[in-house]
Chain A
């Protein structure tokens, strides 16, 4: 398939005695929004980190575009093509919002100063943070900080964006502003891999939900299928399993929690 932008095959990762990923395989097409859900400790975050090799997978392959990247020696070049948004924002604490967005452009892409500034400002505007350009991370709310960190990744013009629980460190009233930015990105055609349990977001923008359990993708399907609105198969899914029992049980569980 030509528009497959990311291909993951049989990814394994073990931390000491614990096998966190036990063979994960999936494909992502351009413009897809894949959302990973599942109990904590099932390898969702590890999976994202294996994709840009912040964690080195033990075995398996990842292709980005046409390039096999699990053994690429130019890992910095690969990471440049994938944006990553962290649970704890991880903004650079000593830099203003603007400088946070600029620094990758200057140090990695070697962009001229004025050009980097212009682009950084426009990325901040894209996430509605241009008024806070001169604020330091500690002066921002969690939601604002997360929006800046999204701008920081977007500025690098990535082919894929990885979101590792982008709202779980936020107070409930601050998640909306971050999710709105993410919805905007999704509707703009950004390819996104998201670990999140914000089901309202999942139902409105996910092209596929992947339920992970004990290191594997246990069940997967479109949000519509999982919600059970339509009978399995009626929207063209070839997924024969189609029952989503465990996914639904998990969702009931987190709704009650």
Chain B
């Protein structure tokens, strides 16, 4: 009873963090997409180029480091080094996004590789340049193929976003912890925030499923 009371009392404050968390996730997903997609394209279609090797190293580093380590490195090191003074929220969103771009690039690489080579040949035989063929023929197919795997990035980023606690972003976990130190009732509060995470997760997955069905093509990519 007491626990429930504490939870409901703290709820408005924790709920404010929903917006911050959602913001982190949306920005990170977008950064990851905008950066990751070209990286995947470079690896598949310019595979023997110098850029492709740079991409491999980028992917290796960003996937190889714990997100917390990356976060500290950027927050204390990279951003100050370049004289960039961003609020912690944007540092967190950027780091989560770059890390996600490394994973997303490999999702897109796999999807691009799954498209039959005949598609490119047919496009080129019509006189399309390679970049037009990639944009109008390959990517519309590859993006559809990548959607199920790409959907993983949402729950991963949603849960990972809580590392931003470490640099003081006022996201859900940070707010919860502040409430815990005020009320000294960790269990109801952490349970409460867990429920919010799970619900946010559910809503996002539902949306992604909707997108997947919306863009489904009869007979394409299984059914």
Contact = CB atoms under 8 A, between A and B. Distances in A.
Interface of A: 52, 54, 76-77, 79-80, 82-84, 86, 88, 90-94, 103-104, 107-108, 136-139, 149, 152-153, 156
A76 B129 contact: yes
Which of A76, A80, A139 has the most C-beta atoms of chain B within 10 angstroms of its own C-beta? A76
Interface stretch (B65-73, B153-161, B168-176, B215-223): B215-223
B132 A107 contact: yes
B126 A90 contact: no
A22 to B, nearest CB: 24
B207 interface: no
Given A92-B137, A93-B119, A136-B220, A76 B125 contact: no
A79 B118 contact: no
Given A86-B118, A90-B119, A90-B122, A76 B128 contact: yes
Contact of B217 (A76, A84, A94, A103): A94
A88 B125 CA distance: 14
Given A86-B121, A90-B116, A94-B144, A137 B219 contact: yes
A104 B128 contact: yes
A136 B218 contact: yes
Given A107-B132, A107-B136, A92 B123 contact: yes
Contacts of A107: 128, 132, 136
Interface of B: 116, 118-119, 121-129, 132, 136-137, 140-141, 144, 217-220
Contacts of B129: 76
A79 B220 contact: no
Given A94-B220, A108-B128, A156-B127, 15 more contacts: A52-B125, A76-B127, A79-B124, A90-B122, A91-B122, A92-B119, A93-B141, A94-B140, A103-B126, A107-B128, A107-B132, A108-B132, A138-B218, A152-B122, A153-B126
A192 B218 CA distance: 33
Nearest to B220: A93
- Scoring A77, A107, A139 by chain B CB atoms within 10 A of each residue's CB, the highest score goes to A107
A137 B121 CA distance: 17
B60 to A, nearest CB: 31
Q: By CB atoms of chain A within 10 A, which of B123, B126, B136, B217 has the most?
A: B126
8 contacts: A76-B128, A86-B118, A108-B126, A136-B218, A138-B220, A153-B125, A153-B126, A156-B127
A170 to B, nearest CB: 16
Contacts of B125: 52, 54, 79, 82-84, 153
Contacts of B127: 76-77, 79-80, 104, 108, 156
B156 to A, nearest CB: 27
A4 B114 CA distance: 41
A86 B116 CA distance: 13
A137 B220 CA distance: 9
Given A94-B144, A136-B220, A103 B136 contact: yes
Nearest to B127: A80
Contacts of A82: 125
A94 B136 CA distance: 10
Contacts of B128: 76, 104, 107-108
A162 B195 CA distance: 62
A136 B219 CA distance: 8
Contacts of B218: 136, 138-139
Given A76-B129, A136-B219, A156-B127, A86 B140 contact: no
Contacts of A138: 217-220
A254 to B, nearest CB: 25
B219 A54 contact: no
Nearest to B140: A94
A156 B126 contact: yes
